[in-house]
Structure 1
Amino acid sequence: MTPSANSRPVALITGASRGIGHAIALRLAPKHDLILVARDESLLMAVAAECEALGASVQCIAADVQNALVTAQRLTGLHVDVLVNNAGVAVMKPFLEMTAEEWHRQVDVNVNALYHVTRAVLPGMVARGHGHVCIIGSTAGRNTFVGGTCYTGTKHFVMGFAESLMLEVRDAGVGVSVITPGSVDTDLFPAGTNRTWMLEPQNVADAVGFAIEAPPHMLVHRLEVRPLSPKRPRAS
């Protein structure tokens, strides 16, 4: 997907098949063409149909972004104006109960995939002299809680990575933003969790839209959004 000078900007969204990624795709579809990336092709195709109904041209790429080779093969060379690094996983349990597989899965998706995906598309942005990298972080990137030894560690990494990358590429015309939501009503939480007070995925999507639609001379680098109160359910 290589747009002409008169076509719409292209946004690539990882973890686009559900939750926050799905909401971001719908938020950007009216003004962007989309490259949607996730592991489940059937879910991606369903999201693509919704986005096409909103006016977007959509390309679906079924890939596990923690796989360095596959990610490089499928994403390198794509024309991408906006990259939304959204893919993420969470395992909330005490350190001594966490398996090595659970630990490495979080690091591979929440940390290493940031390298694989960003490294594949960032050179094109720098060469063209414009672009935007938006990363979905978490308020866990500046606080901690019991059961979050790995998850909060990965989100602290996101904060350091985003700011360092921003300083490296801003003079090339590429912006870097990190959106840090509090609790969001998604299936990252175990069954039975009271989610009536949490942010909705579209709230995070709106924050992404605000960041990438800022004037060219203005960079929204960190944007924190959180529920008003865990004691106040969302209005119906």
Structure 2
Amino acid sequence: MTASLPTALVTGASRGIGRAIALRLANSHEILAVARSTTELDTLASEIDARGGRCRPIALDVTDGDAVARTLGGQAVDVLVNNAGVGALKPFLELAPEEWRRMVDVNLNALYHVTRAVLPGMVERGRGDVVNIGSIAGRSAFVGGSCYAATKWAVMAFTESLMLEVRDAGVRVSVVMPGSVATHFGSGQAKDWNLLPEDVAESVAHIVAAPPEVLIHRLEVRALSPKRPRRR
């Protein structure tokens, strides 16, 4: 009989960093891939299946607390990767109210909804990993980041506070803080020295693979140098 794989739930899994994380963790986990785009989730699931892995796509708006509780509550999740995020990077006086609300809803409130749905099961079983995808913006201010950076500072505080609350229950809580990543995120354009989504995915895999009694709580990942193109 084939042993069952541990389960990893990845939000924002349809593209970019989330997709890379889902593909990387599929080497050792059954993936619950969460995003709003059914088409992109189905494509991801097909790719994981073709590689011999297992993936269950879940179309879900993670800002809808009731829907998250109904869909994810009670799921036996071993690894939760809170990756879903959005960014409207522009000066404060150009930032529309709906852009502000959207960033707070996706980058912060969804963190509560999803974690609250699956964390009780981890605590009950006495094990689990919660990995939040933050940003170096979570400790560095920049022009155009009045809301985005604020949400990432909040992610840092949430992560450390939660870690202190549940570490004695056997649940590890970590944050990965990438520098600039070559994705479609935000309004900027990727540079030839940017990190790749796969670089962030390797960092998540490193955290999850740590020995059971070891906690890698905070991991900052940067490109080696913005002065030269990276070697691919």
TM-score by length of structure 1 reads 0.96
Deviation of the 1:55 alpha carbon: 2.5
* Equivalent-residue separation in structure 2 for 1:117 and 1:189 (angstroms): 23
1:232 aligns with 2:201: no
Name the structure 1 match of 2:173.
176
**Which runs of no fewer than 5 residues in structure 2 stay unpaired?**
none
Deviation of the 1:101 alpha carbon: 0.1
Q: Provide runs of 4+ in structure 1 moved above 3 Å.
A: none
**Which runs of no fewer than 5 residues in structure 1 stay unpaired?**
none
Name the structure 1 match of 2:164.
167
Name the structure 1 match of 2:93.
96
State which of 50, 54, 59 in structure 1 corresponds to 2:56.
59
Deviation of the 1:218 alpha carbon: 0.6
1:212 aligns with 2:211: no
* Equivalent-residue separation in structure 2 for 1:55 and 1:79 (angstroms): 22
Alpha carbon RMSD of aligned pairs, Å?
Answer: 1.3
Name the structure 2 match of 1:76.
73
Identity of paired residues, percent? 59
* Equivalent-residue separation in structure 1 for 2:116 and 2:107 (angstroms): 15
* Equivalent-residue separation in structure 2 for 1:152 and 1:172 (angstroms): 31
Contact kept, 8 Å, 2:89 with 2:145, in 1: the verdict is yes
Gap change, CA 1:72 and 1:5, over 3 Å in 2: farther
1:118 aligns with 2:112: no
TM-score by length of structure 2 reads 0.97
* Equivalent-residue separation in structure 2 for 1:51 and 1:57 (angstroms): 6
Letter matched to residue 224 of structure 1: E
Letter matched to residue 41 of structure 1: T
Contact kept, 8 Å, 1:29 with 1:52, in 2: the verdict is no
* Equivalent-residue separation in structure 1 for 2:24 and 2:181 (angstroms): 17
